[in-house]
Amino acid sequence: MNREILKERTKQFALRIIKVVEASPKTVAGRAIANQLIRSGTSVGANYRAACRGRSKAEFNSKLHIVLEEADESLFWLELIIETELLPKNKIQSLLKEATELTAIFAKSYQTAKRNK
């Protein structure tokens, strides 16, 4: 998958995260989880763009690792939303799938980048 496709995919992921956060209940738990999710979910795309602008392989690898961590953290918060029934599972399922796929993509990319260091 090329960089431009991943840039767009991570941007679309961020936009979908924003919609989920807006739909989250305004309870104490809903706000707490939504705040964490908005940070991690939008950070995936922002940090991927920063990685693509890396001035060195070391900088690229460092930023890519942050992307991986943020994608995995987003996955965690989405799982919590489902398990606490803050939102219906059918409203989150496709976003959960995308978070899982992005985490897998960036895990593999990070392994490859580290190996090519």
Residue boundaries of the structural domains of the chain:
3-115
What's the pLDDT at 1? 72
Tell me what pLDDT residue 87 has.
Answer: 96
Residues 41-99 have pLDDT tens digits of 999 999 999 999 989 999 999 999 999 999 999 999 999 999 999 999 999 999 999 99
Residue written as token pair 């799938």? 97
- What is the predicted pLDDT for the residue at 117? 67
Q: What pLDDT score does 114 carry?
A: 85
Region 16-33: mean pLDDT is 97
Tokens 């399922």 -> residue: 93
pTM: 0.93
Predicted local distance difference test score (pLDDT) of residue 27: 97
For domain 3-115, the CATH architecture is Up-down Bundle (1.20)
Mean pLDDT, rounded, for 6-16: 98
Q: What angle (nearest 5°) sits at the alpha carbon of residue 5, between those of residues 7 and 107?
A: 70
In order of 51, 74, 102, 117, the CA distances from 98 in angstroms are: 20, 10, 6, 28
